[in-house]
Amino acid sequence: MNTRAIGRRGFLSAAGLGLGLAAAGASGCAPASAKAGRKPRIATYLPPSYDDLYPGIEMFTKAAAERSGGRLTLDMYDSGALLGAEQLLPGLLSGVADVIFQTSSYVSSTYPVLGAMELPFVTDDYARLRRAIEPGRAQYDLINEKLAPQGVRILGGMPTTFEYLWTVDKPIRRPEDVRGLRLRVAGEIEGETVKALGGAPVTMGSAEVYQALEKHTIDGLVSYIGTVVSRDLQKIVKYGTAGHFGAYTVDAYCRSDWYAGQPPAVRRALDAAGRTLYRKGTAHMVSVHTKDYLPKVEDAGVRLITPDGAELDAFRKALAPVRAHWRGRVGAGTAERAVESIRTA
Protein backbone atom coordinates (compact mmCIF):
# COMPACT_ATOMS: atom_id res chain seq x y z
CA MET A 1 0.00 0.00 0.00
CA ASN A 2 1.43 3.37 -0.99
CA THR A 3 0.47 6.64 0.72
CA ARG A 4 1.95 9.52 -1.24
CA ALA A 5 1.38 12.48 -3.46
CA ILE A 6 0.04 10.53 -6.38
CA GLY A 7 1.12 12.90 -9.17
CA ARG A 8 -0.28 13.31 -12.67
CA ARG A 9 1.10 10.01 -13.98
CA GLY A 10 -0.03 8.14 -10.89
CA PHE A 11 -3.49 9.67 -11.09
CA LEU A 12 -3.87 8.61 -14.70
CA SER A 13 -2.54 5.17 -13.86
CA ALA A 14 -4.97 4.80 -10.97
CA ALA A 15 -7.74 6.01 -13.25
CA GLY A 16 -6.54 3.60 -15.91
CA LEU A 17 -5.85 6.23 -18.59
CA GLY A 18 -2.66 4.91 -20.97
CA LEU A 19 -41.50 6.19 -12.59
CA GLY A 20 -45.11 6.69 -14.01
CA LEU A 21 -43.91 9.58 -16.11
CA ALA A 22 -41.68 7.18 -18.01
CA ALA A 23 -44.74 5.31 -19.23
CA ALA A 24 -46.38 8.55 -20.29
CA GLY A 25 -43.26 9.59 -22.17
CA ALA A 26 -43.20 6.30 -24.03
CA SER A 27 -46.81 6.58 -25.11
CA GLY A 28 -46.00 8.80 -28.07
CA CYS A 29 -48.17 11.68 -26.82
CA ALA A 30 -46.18 14.89 -27.17
CA PRO A 31 -46.44 17.04 -24.01
CA ALA A 32 -48.37 20.26 -24.45
CA SER A 33 -45.30 22.37 -23.79
CA ALA A 34 -43.64 20.85 -26.85
CA LYS A 35 -46.36 22.43 -29.00
CA ALA A 36 -46.09 25.93 -27.58
CA GLY A 37 -43.68 27.27 -30.19
CA ARG A 38 -41.04 28.17 -27.63
CA LYS A 39 -37.32 27.66 -28.11
CA PRO A 40 -36.11 24.23 -26.97
CA ARG A 41 -34.97 24.20 -23.36
CA ILE A 42 -31.84 22.54 -22.01
CA ALA A 43 -31.65 21.93 -18.26
CA THR A 44 -29.09 20.64 -15.77
CA TYR A 45 -28.52 20.80 -12.04
CA LEU A 46 -24.80 21.36 -12.65
CA PRO A 47 -23.52 24.89 -11.90
CA PRO A 48 -20.74 26.61 -13.85
CA SER A 49 -18.40 25.92 -10.90
CA TYR A 50 -18.02 22.41 -12.37
CA ASP A 51 -15.42 23.74 -14.77
CA ASP A 52 -14.48 20.20 -15.72
CA LEU A 53 -18.01 19.31 -16.94
CA TYR A 54 -19.80 22.57 -17.66
CA PRO A 55 -17.70 23.48 -20.73
CA GLY A 56 -18.77 20.18 -22.32
CA ILE A 57 -22.40 21.26 -21.98
CA GLU A 58 -21.52 24.56 -23.62
CA MET A 59 -19.72 22.68 -26.42
CA PHE A 60 -22.85 20.59 -27.01
CA THR A 61 -25.09 23.67 -27.17
CA LYS A 62 -22.75 25.50 -29.54
CA ALA A 63 -22.34 22.47 -31.82
CA ALA A 64 -26.12 21.95 -31.97
CA ALA A 65 -26.66 25.54 -33.07
CA GLU A 66 -23.82 25.55 -35.60
CA ARG A 67 -24.53 22.16 -37.16
CA SER A 68 -28.23 22.99 -37.54
CA GLY A 69 -27.51 26.31 -39.22
CA GLY A 70 -29.08 28.14 -36.30
CA ARG A 71 -32.31 26.13 -36.38
CA LEU A 72 -31.55 24.52 -33.02
CA THR A 73 -30.79 27.26 -30.51
CA LEU A 74 -31.28 26.03 -26.98
CA ASP A 75 -32.31 28.08 -23.96
CA MET A 76 -29.98 27.05 -21.12
CA TYR A 77 -31.17 26.60 -17.52
CA ASP A 78 -28.32 25.47 -15.29
CA SER A 79 -27.75 25.16 -11.53
CA GLY A 80 -31.20 23.64 -11.04
CA ALA A 81 -32.87 26.90 -12.11
CA LEU A 82 -35.53 25.03 -14.10
CA LEU A 83 -35.27 21.51 -12.67
CA GLY A 84 -33.35 20.15 -9.71
CA ALA A 85 -31.29 16.98 -9.91
CA GLU A 86 -34.18 14.70 -8.94
CA GLN A 87 -36.61 16.56 -11.21
CA LEU A 88 -34.63 16.43 -14.45
CA LEU A 89 -35.90 13.10 -15.76
CA PRO A 90 -39.58 13.67 -14.88
CA GLY A 91 -39.25 17.19 -16.29
CA LEU A 92 -37.87 15.84 -19.54
CA LEU A 93 -40.63 13.28 -19.91
CA SER A 94 -43.36 15.82 -19.14
CA GLY A 95 -41.94 18.37 -21.60
CA VAL A 96 -40.68 20.99 -19.17
CA ALA A 97 -37.24 20.57 -20.78
CA ASP A 98 -36.35 19.18 -24.20
CA VAL A 99 -32.73 18.19 -23.50
CA ILE A 100 -31.29 17.47 -20.05
CA PHE A 101 -27.77 16.88 -18.79
CA GLN A 102 -27.78 14.38 -15.98
CA THR A 103 -25.28 12.14 -14.25
CA SER A 104 -26.07 8.48 -14.84
CA SER A 105 -25.98 7.72 -11.11
CA TYR A 106 -29.16 9.75 -10.61
CA VAL A 107 -31.13 7.76 -13.18
CA SER A 108 -29.54 4.29 -13.31
CA SER A 109 -32.05 3.00 -10.75
CA THR A 110 -34.76 3.86 -13.30
CA TYR A 111 -32.69 2.76 -16.31
CA PRO A 112 -30.41 0.04 -14.87
CA VAL A 113 -28.65 -0.59 -18.20
CA LEU A 114 -26.68 2.58 -17.42
CA GLY A 115 -25.19 0.84 -14.40
CA ALA A 116 -22.66 -1.08 -16.50
CA MET A 117 -20.51 2.05 -16.73
CA GLU A 118 -20.76 2.51 -12.93
CA LEU A 119 -19.72 -0.98 -11.81
CA PRO A 120 -16.60 -1.02 -9.59
CA PHE A 121 -13.57 -2.63 -11.19
CA VAL A 122 -15.45 -3.53 -14.39
CA THR A 123 -12.14 -2.45 -15.97
CA ASP A 124 -8.90 -1.01 -14.61
CA ASP A 125 -8.39 0.96 -17.82
CA TYR A 126 -10.13 4.33 -17.98
CA ALA A 127 -9.29 4.66 -21.67
CA ARG A 128 -11.29 1.47 -22.31
CA LEU A 129 -14.24 2.71 -20.28
CA ARG A 130 -14.05 5.99 -22.18
CA ARG A 131 -14.10 4.27 -25.57
CA ALA A 132 -16.99 2.03 -24.62
CA ILE A 133 -19.57 4.82 -24.47
CA GLU A 134 -18.54 6.47 -27.76
CA PRO A 135 -21.62 7.14 -29.93
CA GLY A 136 -21.99 4.33 -32.43
CA ARG A 137 -20.24 1.69 -30.31
CA ALA A 138 -21.98 -1.36 -28.84
CA GLN A 139 -22.50 0.07 -25.33
CA TYR A 140 -24.06 3.29 -26.64
CA ASP A 141 -26.36 1.37 -28.99
CA LEU A 142 -27.39 -1.04 -26.22
CA ILE A 143 -28.32 1.86 -23.95
CA ASN A 144 -30.53 3.43 -26.60
CA GLU A 145 -32.06 0.05 -27.37
CA LYS A 146 -33.13 -0.28 -23.73
CA LEU A 147 -34.18 3.36 -23.30
CA ALA A 148 -36.34 3.51 -26.44
CA PRO A 149 -39.36 1.64 -24.98
CA GLN A 150 -39.40 4.18 -22.15
CA GLY A 151 -39.40 7.15 -24.49
CA VAL A 152 -35.86 8.39 -23.87
CA ARG A 153 -32.79 8.75 -26.07
CA ILE A 154 -29.17 9.35 -25.08
CA LEU A 155 -27.35 11.73 -27.43
CA GLY A 156 -23.85 11.47 -25.98
CA GLY A 157 -21.99 11.62 -22.72
CA MET A 158 -18.78 12.30 -20.83
CA PRO A 159 -17.46 9.32 -18.85
CA THR A 160 -15.88 10.66 -15.67
CA THR A 161 -12.54 9.53 -14.32
CA PHE A 162 -12.79 6.83 -11.69
CA GLU A 163 -14.48 7.40 -8.34
CA TYR A 164 -12.32 7.15 -5.22
CA LEU A 165 -13.20 6.66 -1.55
CA TRP A 166 -12.70 9.95 0.32
CA THR A 167 -12.72 10.17 4.13
CA VAL A 168 -12.17 12.72 6.88
CA ASP A 169 -10.84 10.85 9.91
CA LYS A 170 -9.79 7.39 8.79
CA PRO A 171 -7.81 6.22 5.75
CA ILE A 172 -9.20 3.25 3.81
CA ARG A 173 -6.49 0.74 2.96
CA ARG A 174 -8.50 -2.50 2.85
CA PRO A 175 -12.18 -3.47 2.57
CA GLU A 176 -12.65 -3.92 6.33
CA ASP A 177 -11.67 -0.27 6.89
CA VAL A 178 -15.05 0.75 5.45
CA ARG A 179 -17.07 -1.15 8.05
CA GLY A 180 -19.32 1.17 10.00
CA LEU A 181 -18.49 4.26 7.96
CA ARG A 182 -21.26 6.47 6.61
CA LEU A 183 -20.35 7.39 3.05
CA ARG A 184 -22.28 9.70 0.77
CA VAL A 185 -23.40 8.17 -2.50
CA ALA A 186 -25.24 9.60 -5.50
CA GLY A 187 -26.89 6.47 -6.85
CA GLU A 188 -27.84 2.83 -6.50
CA ILE A 189 -24.60 1.25 -7.71
CA GLU A 190 -22.51 3.43 -5.40
CA GLY A 191 -24.84 2.49 -2.55
CA GLU A 192 -24.40 -1.22 -3.27
CA THR A 193 -20.63 -0.68 -3.36
CA VAL A 194 -20.60 0.85 0.11
CA LYS A 195 -22.87 -1.86 1.50
CA ALA A 196 -20.67 -4.61 0.03
CA LEU A 197 -17.71 -3.12 1.91
CA GLY A 198 -19.67 -3.03 5.16
CA GLY A 199 -20.43 0.68 5.23
CA ALA A 200 -23.69 2.63 5.36
CA PRO A 201 -24.58 4.55 2.19
CA VAL A 202 -26.11 7.99 2.67
CA THR A 203 -27.83 9.61 -0.31
CA MET A 204 -27.69 13.39 -0.62
CA GLY A 205 -27.07 16.06 -3.23
CA SER A 206 -23.50 17.20 -3.78
CA ALA A 207 -24.34 20.69 -2.52
CA GLU A 208 -25.08 19.22 0.93
CA VAL A 209 -21.89 17.20 1.30
CA TYR A 210 -19.52 19.84 2.70
CA GLN A 211 -21.76 20.66 5.64
CA ALA A 212 -22.48 16.97 6.25
CA LEU A 213 -18.75 16.23 6.44
CA GLU A 214 -18.16 19.24 8.66
CA LYS A 215 -20.87 18.15 11.09
CA HIS A 216 -19.77 14.48 10.95
CA THR A 217 -23.18 13.47 9.65
CA ILE A 218 -21.15 11.41 7.18
CA ASP A 219 -17.59 10.09 7.37
CA GLY A 220 -16.75 10.45 3.70
CA LEU A 221 -18.00 9.88 0.20
CA VAL A 222 -17.69 7.90 -3.01
CA SER A 223 -16.86 10.44 -5.68
CA TYR A 224 -14.85 11.37 -8.72
CA ILE A 225 -12.37 14.17 -8.23
CA GLY A 226 -14.60 16.75 -9.94
CA THR A 227 -17.16 16.82 -7.14
CA VAL A 228 -14.39 17.08 -4.55
CA VAL A 229 -12.87 20.23 -6.05
CA SER A 230 -16.07 21.83 -7.39
CA ARG A 231 -17.59 21.63 -3.90
CA ASP A 232 -14.30 22.54 -2.10
CA LEU A 233 -14.29 19.20 -0.29
CA GLN A 234 -10.48 19.01 -0.47
CA LYS A 235 -10.55 21.52 2.38
CA ILE A 236 -12.19 18.99 4.70
CA VAL A 237 -11.42 15.43 3.52
CA LYS A 238 -8.03 14.11 4.61
CA TYR A 239 -7.69 10.84 2.68
CA GLY A 240 -8.51 9.46 -0.74
CA THR A 241 -8.23 5.80 -1.73
CA ALA A 242 -7.49 5.54 -5.44
CA GLY A 243 -9.05 2.80 -7.54
CA HIS A 244 -11.98 2.05 -9.77
CA PHE A 245 -14.58 2.12 -6.99
CA GLY A 246 -17.11 3.42 -9.47
CA ALA A 247 -17.62 5.80 -12.34
CA TYR A 248 -20.49 7.41 -14.12
CA THR A 249 -21.30 9.36 -17.21
CA VAL A 250 -22.67 12.87 -17.60
CA ASP A 251 -25.09 12.51 -20.48
CA ALA A 252 -27.37 14.49 -22.74
CA TYR A 253 -30.85 12.98 -22.97
CA CYS A 254 -33.94 13.90 -24.94
CA ARG A 255 -37.33 12.29 -25.49
CA SER A 256 -37.31 9.82 -28.35
CA ASP A 257 -40.58 11.20 -29.76
CA TRP A 258 -39.18 14.76 -29.67
CA TYR A 259 -36.05 13.58 -31.49
CA ALA A 260 -38.07 11.67 -34.09
CA GLY A 261 -40.24 14.71 -34.73
CA GLN A 262 -37.31 16.95 -35.68
CA PRO A 263 -36.31 17.59 -39.31
CA PRO A 264 -33.42 15.43 -40.55
CA ALA A 265 -30.98 18.35 -40.38
CA VAL A 266 -31.82 18.97 -36.73
CA ARG A 267 -31.50 15.28 -35.86
CA ARG A 268 -28.07 15.25 -37.51
CA ALA A 269 -27.13 18.36 -35.52
CA LEU A 270 -28.20 16.70 -32.26
CA ASP A 271 -26.13 13.62 -33.08
CA ALA A 272 -23.14 15.80 -33.96
CA ALA A 273 -23.54 17.71 -30.70
CA GLY A 274 -23.56 14.40 -28.82
CA ARG A 275 -20.30 13.38 -30.48
CA THR A 276 -18.80 16.76 -29.60
CA LEU A 277 -19.83 16.29 -25.98
CA TYR A 278 -18.24 12.85 -25.90
CA ARG A 279 -14.99 13.75 -27.68
CA LYS A 280 -14.17 17.35 -26.85
CA GLY A 281 -16.11 17.53 -23.58
CA THR A 282 -14.43 14.41 -22.18
CA ALA A 283 -10.98 15.54 -23.34
CA HIS A 284 -11.49 18.86 -21.55
CA MET A 285 -12.67 17.11 -18.39
CA VAL A 286 -9.63 14.81 -18.25
CA SER A 287 -7.29 17.75 -18.82
CA VAL A 288 -8.85 19.72 -15.96
CA HIS A 289 -8.66 16.72 -13.63
CA THR A 290 -4.97 16.05 -14.26
CA LYS A 291 -3.63 19.58 -14.64
CA ASP A 292 -5.82 21.50 -12.17
CA TYR A 293 -7.90 19.37 -9.81
CA LEU A 294 -5.25 16.84 -8.79
CA PRO A 295 -2.75 19.57 -7.83
CA LYS A 296 -5.47 21.33 -5.80
CA VAL A 297 -6.20 18.13 -3.89
CA GLU A 298 -2.49 17.53 -3.26
CA ASP A 299 -1.83 21.15 -2.26
CA ALA A 300 -4.68 20.91 0.26
CA GLY A 301 -2.79 18.10 1.99
CA VAL A 302 -5.11 15.22 1.10
CA ARG A 303 -3.21 11.91 1.36
CA LEU A 304 -3.89 9.70 -1.64
CA ILE A 305 -3.57 5.98 -0.99
CA THR A 306 -3.05 3.56 -3.88
CA PRO A 307 -3.79 -0.10 -3.15
CA ASP A 308 -1.90 -2.59 -5.27
CA GLY A 309 -1.59 -6.34 -5.83
CA ALA A 310 -3.33 -8.37 -3.13
CA GLU A 311 -4.94 -5.24 -1.71
CA LEU A 312 -6.74 -4.51 -4.97
CA ASP A 313 -7.72 -8.16 -5.27
CA ALA A 314 -9.31 -7.96 -1.83
CA PHE A 315 -11.42 -4.99 -2.93
CA ARG A 316 -12.42 -6.76 -6.15
CA LYS A 317 -13.50 -9.86 -4.22
CA ALA A 318 -15.45 -7.84 -1.68
CA LEU A 319 -17.27 -5.96 -4.44
CA ALA A 320 -18.33 -9.00 -6.48
CA PRO A 321 -21.89 -8.84 -5.02
CA VAL A 322 -22.37 -5.42 -6.63
CA ARG A 323 -22.14 -6.91 -10.10
CA ALA A 324 -24.44 -9.77 -9.08
CA HIS A 325 -27.02 -7.27 -7.80
CA TRP A 326 -26.87 -5.27 -11.02
CA ARG A 327 -27.05 -8.43 -13.14
CA GLY A 328 -30.27 -9.34 -11.36
CA ARG A 329 -31.70 -5.92 -12.27
CA VAL A 330 -30.94 -6.02 -15.99
CA GLY A 331 -31.00 -9.76 -16.73
CA ALA A 332 -28.16 -12.07 -17.63
CA GLY A 333 -28.25 -11.44 -21.38
CA THR A 334 -28.16 -7.65 -21.15
CA ALA A 335 -25.52 -7.78 -18.41
CA GLU A 336 -23.24 -9.95 -20.53
CA ARG A 337 -23.65 -7.70 -23.58
CA ALA A 338 -22.97 -4.56 -21.57
CA VAL A 339 -19.89 -5.83 -19.72
CA GLU A 340 -18.46 -7.41 -22.87
CA SER A 341 -18.87 -4.14 -24.75
CA ILE A 342 -16.67 -2.47 -22.13
CA ARG A 343 -14.08 -5.24 -22.01
CA THR A 344 -13.62 -5.21 -25.78
CA ALA A 345 -13.81 -1.45 -26.35
- DSSP secondary structure, 252-296, as one string: EEEEHHHHHTS-HHHHHHHHHHHHHIIIIIHHHHHHHIIIIIHHH
CATH match for 19-160+248-292 among 3.30.70.890, 3.40.50.80, 3.50.50.60, 3.40.190.170: 3.40.190.170
Query: Confidence band (pLDDT; 50, 70, 90) for 49?
Result: confident
301-313 tens-digit pLDDT: 999 999 989 999 9
Q: Is 304 exposed, middle or buried (0-12, 13-18, 19+ CB in 10 A)?
A: buried
In the chain, where the domains are located: 19-160+248-292, 164-246+293-343
Burial code (b: 16+ CB inside 10 Å, e: under 16) for 326-344 equals bbebbeeebbebbbebbee
pTM: 0.86
Cβ 213 vs Cβ 168: under 8 Å: yes
Three-state DSSP class for 175? helix
142-190 tens-digit pLDDT: 999 999 999 999 999 999 999 999 999 999 999 999 999 999 999 999 9
261-299 tens-digit pLDDT: 999 999 999 999 999 999 999 999 999 999 999 999 999
The secondary element (H helix, E strand) that includes residue 81 is none
Give the pLDDT score at 11: 56
Higher pLDDT, 121 or 10: 121
- Other C-beta atoms closer than 10 Å to the C-beta of 83 total 21
Q: Name 235's Cβ contacts closer than 8 Å, sequence gap at least 6.
A: 300
pLDDT at 256 over 50: yes
Percent of the chain surpassing pLDDT 70: 89
Top-level CATH class of 164-246+293-343?
A: alpha beta
Equal fold, 19-160+248-292 vs 164-246+293-343: yes
Cross-sheet strand order for the sheet of 200-203: 2-4, 303-306, 239-241, 164-167, 220-223, 182-185, 200-203
| Overall size of the chain counted in residues | 345
